[in-house]
Amino acid sequence: MSRILLAADVGNTRAKFALLKASQRQQLPETLSTFLWKYDVPFARADLQAFASSHAASELECFLSGSHLGHIEEIVEFWPKELPEPRVIRTSTELPIELLVDYPDKVGVDRVLNAIATCFEQPGVPAIIIDTGTATTVDVVSSAGAFLGGAILPGYELSAHALHDYTNKLPLIPLQEILGEVPAVVGKNTHAALRSGLIWGQVGAVNEVVTRIQQELAQTVVLRPTIYLTGGAADLLQAHLNFKTIARPQLTLQGLACVAEL
């Protein structure tokens, strides 16, 4: 019987939980079901317990990680007693991957988990990973399987909030509007102009960063990198990117589940 992993990626906007089936290298752990904790309500241990109850506690291995340490501690404190104690990964230096950056202990765990997932799925192949969460990150993995660093930029909702919070006249464009119809580039009113800037600005930024990374890698690396796309807003980007991407909506959680195998 294959092992079942309960993994949690505790992000800045929400915590994502999943039950995953452990797998061998070159195949990412399969996501069986997911559960979200949005931070506008207190963490409900009973809800997590109910989510995990499709599997006997004895079958489960639990992993807890992410970039929001405060919410990680909250989950640890209220972890359901019926479930096995989670293995908690608070810093990237605890993860089984080489971090070729200035301050390895400062790199977001979510970025590194994504890198681990790509190494697990395609060992020996370099990767560029676009993760559109609260922040959007574009990161690079070498063909030797090391995390090389990347770029961090504001995500859609964060950009919308910044435009509203730091100006006198700009309205807040809610997420539902950002997710709505693809906007005309020439906005005919404030709302339309903000929607244009939010959508096409993010598309342009990601295209530019990826193109520059590809050019830089081409100078030293023979294999072309695989480009992965993940994060809450991945669907908004995918259709407008100038290159082919592999969509892996659960990449970070799958990376955490891979840690169980490494």
Ligand X SMILES: Nc1ncnc2c1ncn2[C@@H]1O[C@H](COP(=O)(O)OP(=O)(O)OP(=O)(O)O)[C@@H](O)[C@H]1O
Ligand Y SMILES: CC(C)(CO)[C@@H](O)C(=O)NCCC(=O)O
Cβ at position 112, least distance to ligand Y in Å: 8
Token pair, residue 170, equals 């700009």
* Amino acid in position 198: L
259 residue type, one letter: V
* Shortest spacing between CB 113 and K ion, in angstroms: 9
Sole binder of ligand X in the list 118, 134, 142, 250 (CB under 6 A): 134
Tell me the C-alpha distance between 85 and 61, whole Å. Answer: 8
Provide the H-helix boundaries in 2-65.
45-52
**And the tokens for 18?**
């999943």
Identify the residue among 80, 86, 133, 154 touching K ion (CB under 5 A).
133
Do the annotations mark residue 9 as ligand-binding?
A: yes
DSSP string, 198-239: HHHHHHHHHHHHHHHHHHHHHTT-SSPPEEEEESTTHHHHHT
The amino acid that residue 170 corresponds to is L
Mode of pairing for the β-strands spanning 146-154 and 226-230:
unpaired
Q: Which is nearer to K ion, 23 or 250 (CB)?
A: 250
150 binds ligand Y (CB under 6 A): no
Residues recognised as catalytic? 110
Segment contacting ligand X (CB under 6 A): 94-102, 130-138, 185-193, 203-211? 130-138
122 binding ligand X? (CB under 6 A): no
Q: Rounded to an integer, what distance in angstroms lies between the CA atom of residue 85 and that of residue 60? A: 10
Place of tokens 């080489």: 98
Question: Exactly one of 16, 111, 195, 248 binds ligand Y (CB under 6 A); which one?
Answer: 111
**Binding site partner of 154, from K ion, ligand Y, ligand X, none, Cβ cut-off 5-8 A by kind:** none
- The reply to whether 133 sits near ligand X by the rule CB under 6 A is yes
Q: Which amino acid is at 179?
A: L
Residue 13 binds ligand X (CB under 6 A): yes
Report in angstroms how near the CB of residue 107 gets to ligand Y at its nearest. Answer: 4
Q: Which of 37, 75, 109, 110 binds K ion (CB under 5 A)?
A: 110
The reply on whether position 65 binds ligand Y by CB under 6 A is no
Buried b or exposed e, range 31-62, using 16+ CB within 10 angstroms = beeebebebeeeeebeebeebbeeeeeeebbb
Q: Contact between 179 and ligand X (CB under 6 A)?
A: yes
Of 152 and 241, the one with the shorter C-beta distance to ligand Y is 152
Evaluate whether 255 touches 66 at the Cβ level (below 8 Å).
no
Does 122 participate in binding ligand Y (rule CB under 6 A)?
Answer: no
| Pairing label, strands 60-66, 4-10 | parallel
Residue 152 as a binder of ligand Y (CB under 6 A): the answer is: yes
Please select the residue that binds ligand Y; options are 80, 86, 108, 255, rule is CB under 6 A. Answer: 108
Q: Is 169 labelled a binding residue?
A: no
Q: How many residues bind ligand Y (CB under 6 A)?
A: 11
Q: Which residues are annotated as a binding site?
A: 9-16, 108-111, 131, 134, 190
Q: Which residues are annotated as a binding site for ATP?
A: 9-16, 134
* Residues contributing to the site for ligand Y (CB under 6 A): 12, 67, 106-108, 110-111, 133, 135, 137, 152
